[in-house]
C-alpha cells in the first residue's frame, strides 16, 4: 500500500503532488493539465481544468497496480466534491469516521470536509478507474454564481454558503445512468484548443445540474423506488439505446419485457427514471426526433419518412409532430427551419 499526503491549495497542485509521489509526466494544453503515468505504480491519465467561476474538472482514467491511499488535508483547499464513478470503485472516509464508505460504479456522490479535517480516499489495485470529479470552491462560486447557488435545497445551500468550512457534508445517492451518458460525452469531444475547453465547461454545468437534481429529489422524498438494481438499470439503458438506433422496428412493451427478462412494471419504472417517459412515450419521442432530422437533412417526402420511422398513419404522425414541434411536417419541410 502506498500512502500519498495531499496538502494542495487547488486541483492543479493536487495533480502535481500525486506526480511527485508516483511519477509520470505533466503536459499543459489550453488550461488543461494532463498527468500521464505508465510505470510499475499506475498506468493511465489524471487531468484537470480550473474555471474562473470557482469550479474545476478532475478526471481519473487510470489503473493503480498497488493500493493507493490519498490522505487529504483540507485546510488550504476545501471544495465541495461532486463525484461519479463511470467505471470501477473506491472508498472514502472523513477523519472522524471509523469505517470507509464505498463509492460504487454509477453512483452520484456529493461531499465536503471542514477546515482542519482530513479525508482519506482508498483506491484498490488492479481496478480500471474512470472517476469524474467536479470541485466547487464555495466562496468564489457564490461570488460568481450567486443565483445558481440560491436554487439549491436548504441543506446543500447551507453547505455552499459555509465559507468558513465548518461543516462536514456527504450524500451517497442511488445509481444514476443519466450521469453516465453525460460523463461519456467528455470523452467524445474531439475539438482542440479553446473550443474543447468551452465544450467541456458546458458539459460540466450539465453534470453538476444532474447531481443537484438527484440530491434535491432525494431530500424531498421524490426519488424513484429502489426496486431497480444496477444491472436492471443497465439493461433498460441498453434497450433505450437500441430503440433510438432503430426507430422503425415494431416495438411492444410485452416483447421488450420478454427480450430483457424484466417485468413490464420494472420497464416502465426504469424508463421513467432514465428518460422521464413511459416506454410508449419514449418510442414516440425518438421517432419524432428522427423524423425531424430526416425532414431537415434528407430529400424523402413525408410519406416516405412516416414509413422509415415505423408509423403507418400519416395523419397520426402529422398530428403528434405538430403537437410536439408547433408546426406541421409539411410546413417544416417547406421552410427547412433547422433543428428545434
Three cell numbers written together for 214: 438527484
Radius of gyration of the chain (CA): 23
pLDDT at 143 over 50: yes
Q: Which phi and psi angles does 313 have, rounded to 5°? A: -115, 115
pLDDT at 157 over 80: no
Residue with cell 445551500: 157
Instruction: For the chain, give the mean pLDDT.
Output: 85
Give me the pLDDT at residue 50, please: 92
Rounded to whole angstroms, how far apart are CA atoms 203 and 179? 11
The residue ranking higher by pLDDT, 333 or 59, is: 59
Per the CB < 8 A criterion, the answer to whether 6 and 121 are in contact is no
CATH code, residues 2-219: 2.60.120.10
DSSP secondary structure string, 102-156? EE-BTEEEEEE--TT-EEEEEE-TT-EEEEEEEEE-HHHHHHH-HHHHHTS-HHH
The residue ranking higher by pLDDT, 94 or 147, is: 94
Q: Which of 105, 107, 81, 103 is nearest to 218 (CA)?
A: 107
H helix intervals, 49-97: none
What angle in degrees, to the nearest 10, is found between the helix axes of 279-297 and 230-245?
A: 30
Q: How does strand 68-73 pair with strand 2-6?
A: parallel
Three cell numbers written together for 222: 421524490
Query: Exposure pattern of 236-259 as b/e (b: 16+ CB <10 Å)?
Result: bbebbeebbeebeeebeeeebbee
The residue ranking higher by pLDDT, 291 or 167, is: 291
The Cβ of residue 276 has, within 10 Å, a number of other Cβ atoms equal to 11
Domains of the chain by residue range: 2-219, 230-335
- Averaged pLDDT for residues 143-160: 57
Give me the pLDDT at residue 161, please: 65
Give me the pLDDT at residue 154, please: 56
Per the CB < 8 A criterion, the answer to whether 51 and 204 are in contact is yes
Give me the pLDDT at residue 29, please: 85
Q: Which phi and psi angles does 190 have, rounded to 5°? A: -100, -15
Burial class (CB in 10 A: 0-12, 13-18, 19+), 49: buried
pLDDT in tens, 60-114: 999 999 999 999 887 666 788 999 999 999 999 988 788 899 998 888 899 887 6
Three cell numbers written together for 251: 416495438
Residues 6+ positions from 72 with CB-CB distance below 8 Å: 6, 113, 118, 119, 120, 121
Q: Is the dihedral of CA 136, 138, 144, 148 positive or negative?
A: positive
- Averaged pLDDT for residues 254-261: 91
pLDDT winner (highest mean) among 166-180, 238-252, 263-277: 238-252
pLDDT in tens, 299-338: 899 999 999 999 989 999 999 999 988 899 998 888 764 4
CATH code, residues 230-335: 1.10.10.60
Amino acid at each position: 500500500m502506498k500512502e500519498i499526503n495531499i496538502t494542495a491549495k487547488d486541483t492543479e497542485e493536487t495533480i502535481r503532488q500525486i506526480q511527485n509521489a508516483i511519477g509520470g509526466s505533466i503536459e499543459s494544453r489550453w488550461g488543461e493539465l494532463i498527468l500521464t503515468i505508465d510505470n510499475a505504480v499506475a498506468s493511465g491519465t489524471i487531468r484537470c481544468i480550473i474555471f474562473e467561476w470557482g469550479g474545476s474538472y478532475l478526471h481519473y482514467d487510470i489503473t493503480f497496480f498497488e493500493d493507493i491511499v490519498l490522505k487529504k488535508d483540507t485546510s488550504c483547499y476545501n471544495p465541495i466534491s461532486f463525484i461519479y464513478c463511470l467505471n470501477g470503485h473506491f472508498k472514502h472516509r472523513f477523519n472522524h469516521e471509523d469505517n470507509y464508505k464505498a463509492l460504487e460504479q454509477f453512483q452520484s456522490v456529493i461531499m465536503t470536509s471542514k477546515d482542519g479535517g482530513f479525508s482519506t480516499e482508498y483506491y484498490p489495485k488492479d481496478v480500471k478507474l474512470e472517476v469524474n470529479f467536479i470541485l466547487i470552491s464555495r466562496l468564489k462560486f457564490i461570488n460568481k454564481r450567486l443565483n445558481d447557488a440560491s436554487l439549491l435545497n436548504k441543506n446543500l445551500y447551507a453547505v455552499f454558503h459555509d465559507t468558513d468550512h465548518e461543516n462536514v457534508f456527504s450524500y451517497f445517492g442511488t445509481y444514476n445512468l443519466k450521469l453516465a451518458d453525460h460523463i461519456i460525452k467528455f470523452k467524445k469531444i474531439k475539438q482542440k484548443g479553446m473550443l474543447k475547453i468551452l465544450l467541456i465547461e458546458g458539459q460540466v454545468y450539465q453534470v453538476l445540474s444532474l447531481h443537484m437534481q438527484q440530491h434535491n429529489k432525494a431530500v424531498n422524498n421524490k426519488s424513484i423506488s429502489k426496486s431497480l438494481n444496477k444491472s436492471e438499470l443497465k439493461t433498460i439503458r441498453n434497450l433505450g439505446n437500441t430503440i433510438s438506433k432503430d426507430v422503425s422496428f415494431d416495438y411492444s412493451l410485452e416483447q421488450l419485457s420478454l427480450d430483457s427478462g424484466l417485468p413490464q412494471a420494472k420497464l416502465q419504472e426504469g424508463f421513467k427514471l432514465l428518460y422521464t417517459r413511459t416506454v410508449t412515450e419514449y418510442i414516440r419521442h425518438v421517432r419524432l426526433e428522427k423524423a425531424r432530422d430526416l425532414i431537415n437533412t434528407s430529400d424523402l417526402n413525408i410519406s416516405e419518412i412516416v414509413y422509415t420511422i415505423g408509423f403507418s398513419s400519416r395523419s397520426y404522425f402529422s398530428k403528434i409532430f405538430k403537437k410536439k414541434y408547433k408546426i406541421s411536417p409539411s410546413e417544416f419541410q417547406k421552410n427547412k427551419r433547422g433543428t428545434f
